[in-house]
Amino acid sequence: MSTTTDRPTALAARPAAPAAKPARARRRGQASPAARALSHAALILASLIALFPVVWILYVSLGPDKTDYLHPGAIFDKMTLSNYHKVLFDTDFFSWFGNAFLVSGITTVFGVMIAASTGYAVSRMRFPGHRPLMWSLLVTQMFPIAVLIVPMYTILSELDLLDSYLGLILVYSTTTVPYCAWLLKGYFDTIPVEIDEAGRVDGLTPLGTFWRLVLPLARPGLAVAAFYSFLTAWAEVAFASTFMLSSDKYTLAVGLQTFVSEHDAQWNLMAATAVLIAIPSSVLFYLVQRHLVTGLTAGASKS
């Protein structure tokens, strides 16, 4: 009897075993550690792949001989800046640079102005044919450059604009304006219409409202359009090499081709020139980078 009575008491006196910690639940949408590790590894690999051509061109540009790219290991022991000195002082580099900067700068300003006014008009005004206008701009982007060279050459020849900066600027503008108009139209759609109405209440004309109220708010979109226009004109080769016939009017991309002939190719000088060409576009990217993501995402969400 006493044994039967004491047994439950002894069991009750034992301390309860600590409860097992519940497994930490992963939040919805949160990746597992393995998935995060794989994504980081993929991003690192993609970054290395993207950086490799840039690093390779920079490395080859430091080799003094034109065949050093065939023996890259030997460049490390004889690195020199002689290629840059020769490009800067023994070629027409500064003439090419001035021509390219002139054409790219005017193309950027002119193209962004036309694209901004077009995008704003389609965004705010419902005139007859506004939809076909935007679709026609989109269709023009479907034609490859090889198809456009011959008709554009004929048009420029008839207008006496061959071998002229104006002709090249107009050609580049036909390439940049359609895309930039679509981009800016989408960005103007994100700006409330009430701002335009407030401007009209204050006595502003439609042009004054566009210039004084809407454009300052559209700076991210304008930065993207300007960056795209500048790069299109700065690095273009096909149109410039076809329409610019005088060597004193070559742009940088066309001048780069002078290092390659039928029987010779000076790859070290080409690499050095390529690095110098990339510097202005890199500086421009640094100046507008804080606007690029905003401008691209806003324009894409409303286009």
C-alpha 218/C-alpha 235 separation (Å) is 26
Quick check: 301 pLDDT over 50?
no
Q: Full-prediction pTM beyond 0.85?
A: no
Q: How far apart are the first and last CA of the chain?
A: 88
Q: Which residues of 258-272 are buried (b: 16+ CB within 10 A; e: fewer)?
A: bbeeeeeebbbbbbb
Quick check: 263 pLDDT over 80?
no
**pLDDT score for 28:** 63
At residue 214's C-alpha, the angle toward residues 208 and 216, to 5°, is: 105
Q: What is the pLDDT of residues 48-81, one digit of tens each?
A: 999 999 999 999 999 888 888 888 888 888 889 9
Q: What is the mean pLDDT of the chain?
A: 83
Q: Would you state the structure tokens that stand for residue 142, as one six-digit string? A: 């479907």
Please answer whether residues 284 and 227 qualify as being in contact, where contact means their C-beta atoms are separated by less than 8 angstroms.
Answer: yes
**pLDDT score for 1:** 46
Please answer whether residues 78 and 60 qualify as being in contact, where contact means their C-beta atoms are separated by less than 8 angstroms.
Answer: no
Longest Cα–Cα distance of the chain, Å, equals 123
Q: What is the pLDDT of residues 6-53, one digit of tens each?
A: 555 544 555 555 555 555 555 666 777 888 889 899 999 999 999 999
DSSP state string for 251-287: -HHHHGGGGB-SS-B-HHHHHHHHHHHHHHHHHHHHH
Q: What is the pLDDT of residues 163-204, one digit of tens each?
A: 999 999 999 998 899 989 988 988 898 888 888 888 888 888
